Structure 1
Amino acid sequence: MAGLELDLDVATAFAGVPSEADFRRWAEACLNPAEYNPNLDNPQLAEPSLSIRVVDEAESRELNGQYRGKDYPTNVLSFPCELPDDVDIELLGDLVICAEVVDREADEQNKPVEAHWAHMTVHGCLHLLGYDHQDDDEAEQMEQLETKILAALGYPAPYQQ
């Protein structure tokens, strides 16, 4: 992989937002998943592009309501990009991560906040790559892959209580 083109937009005054280098490291771990899951449809992207927007609770709530019909802020929203076949750009899509929700969840779940930021980034990127958790089998596969990627990055398993 030549390297991820990352567009990071921090649209919140929240003081605990990770660095662009952190987001890049977490996202890149998802983009070369052959070691984690050799059956991925598009196992390697030559020049992937990703946008991450870090928002406050008001914007997260608005987007969650508009796109998912849920009237509350959420940790991460994923917006995959579906380009026509003749467009030769490897645009994965957009992630919108709510800083306050990620921070609050880390505290409530007794997790290191950096590990939870990493988890939300990995989780969102896997959605952009086509993973989902609509049924139990999909959820188990996605959770296992998240755990493997996060372990490779040096973080604890995200679903252990």
Structure 2
Amino acid sequence: MTLAMIDIVIDEDIAFEPPADMDKAVRVACESAGVDTEQIDLCVRFTSDQSIQSMNKQWRGKDKVTDVLSFPMQEPPCDTSESLGDIALAVPFILLEAARLKLPEADHIRHLIIHATLHLLGFDHIDDDDAQKMQNLEQQAMHNLGLYDPYPMDAEQL
């Protein structure tokens, strides 16, 4: 039995109801990466564009809005009996992005949670080989949830 401990924080200036099954997205991301899912602990914060822009500037030196940021608490390999870290999602940005891509909002959020969870586990997309590995894991996790392929061969599918 998976004991997912996902703390959800919704900033008071955000009127938003997150998907009910975010724990499942976190679990399948971990499973696709071959990580033990017996205990999973992380925090997901739903925030404003301004707040994520500030975090992006402070922690990455990029003064712009982005969809999601990950703040890992561990170096790989991760011990899932301890907190993996924090995920911050910019709700207004994500909802506009989902509309532009013609994706269900909840499914797009699930994809971003999978993406961010993989970052917490130590995966990234800085170079092409790592990016391909991470994309493959995201595709596998999304497939396991019965959701769309986030990286179709024909990008116009999105």
TM-score by length of 2: 0.85
Q: Which residue of 2 aligns with 1:126?
A: 118
Bigger CA drift: 44-53 or 139-148? 44-53
Identical counterparts, % of pairs = 32
Letter in 2 for 1:142: M
For residue 14 of structure 1, report the CA deviation from its aligned partner: 3.7
Contact 1:17 1:99 in 2 (8 A): no
Mind listing any 5+ residue stretches in structure 2 that lack a counterpart? none
Please give the alpha-carbon distance, in whole angstroms, between the structure 1 residues aligned to 2:51 and 2:113: 18
- Out of 101, 126, 131, the position equivalent to 1:139 is 131
| Cα distance change of structure 1 residues 27 and 88 upon mapping to structure 2, 3 Å threshold | closer
| Cα distance change of structure 1 residues 110 and 48 upon mapping to structure 2, 3 Å threshold | same
Please give the alpha-carbon distance, in whole angstroms, between the structure 2 residues aligned to 1:45 and 1:151: 18
Please give the alpha-carbon distance, in whole angstroms, between the structure 2 residues aligned to 1:139 and 1:100: 26
- Out of 92, 98, 107, the position equivalent to 1:106 is 98
For residue 32 of structure 1, report the CA deviation from its aligned partner: 2.3
For residues 47-79 of structure 1, the C-alpha deviation after alignment (integer angstroms, 9 at most, x for no partner) is 221111110111111101100111111111000
For residue 10 of structure 1, report the CA deviation from its aligned partner: 0.7
- Out of 137, 151, 155, the position equivalent to 1:159 is 151
| 1:28 and 2:20 correspond | no
Alignment RMSD, CA only?
Answer: 2.0
Please give the alpha-carbon distance, in whole angstroms, between the structure 2 residues aligned to 1:67 and 1:148: 29
| Cα distance change of structure 1 residues 8 and 88 upon mapping to structure 2, 3 Å threshold | closer
SS at match of 1:28: helix
SS at match of 1:61: helix
Q: Which residue of 1 aligns with 2:5?
A: 5
Q: Which residue of 1 aligns with 2:73?
A: 81
| Cα distance change of structure 1 residues 137 and 49 upon mapping to structure 2, 3 Å threshold | same
For residue 12 of structure 1, report the CA deviation from its aligned partner: 4.7
Bigger CA drift: 124-133 or 104-113? 104-113
TM-score by length of 1: 0.84
Number of corresponding residues: 150
Letter in 1 for 2:134: M
